[in-house]
Amino acid sequence: MQQGKTHMKFAAKIVAGAIVAGFTLGGLALAQDAGGIKRTLFQRLDVNDKQEAIMGMSEIAKGVTAERHTHFGTESTYVLEGEVELHIDGEPPRKFHTGETFQVATGKVHGATNIGSGTAKLIAVYVVEKGKPLATPAAK
């Protein structure tokens, strides 16, 4: 029961206002769906006393944008399916297709838009500070 409570507290921190869709894999994966973006968390592991690694998948519907946000650590992403345009503040937009990877540095404001013809699927690993939210919305 304690493990379930931990997952619920963690989910509340990830995306403000997200709707928790359900648990799968015996409580190991958490699925959320909010405005054309479905996020599924697969794994959360301690890296050291101050950091944790979180692995998950984002599914972004055609034409939908993951709004600008930051992380308290590094994001490393693999494009499993589709095509996305990554926007990092202060840099030109970059396009990534199936099979390509990208990384976003700690604290960089960024977002991504699905510019492909179907749902984009992204697998990401975040190495972030423990006790902080996974993502923090950026000011507009």
Judged by DSSP in three states, 1 sits in: coil
CA 131 to chain CA mean position, Å: 16
Question: Two tokens at 50?
Answer: 């101050």
pLDDT at 35: 83
Percentage of residues in the chain with pLDDT exceeding 90?
74
41 within 8 A of 124, measured Cβ to Cβ:
no
Contact 42, 18 (CB under 8 A): no
Averaged pLDDT for residues 105-126: 98
> Tokens in use for 43?
């794994």
Q: Which pLDDT score is estimated for 108?
A: 98
**Residue-wise pLDDT tens digits, 16-69:** 223 222 223 333 455 556 689 999 999 999 999 999 999 999 999 999 999 999
Q: What pLDDT score does 30 carry?
A: 53
8-22, 32-46, 87-101: which has the highest mean pLDDT?
A: 87-101
What DSSP letter does each residue of 79-93 carry, written as one string? EEESEEEEEETTS--
Name every residue whose Cβ is closer than 8 Å to that of residue 26 and which is 6 or more positions away in sequence.
Answer: none
- Output the pLDDT for position 32: 59
* Average pLDDT, integer, range 76-102: 98
**What pLDDT sits at residue 139?**
87
Long-range contacts of the stretch 26-31 (C-beta < 8 A, 24+)? 27/3
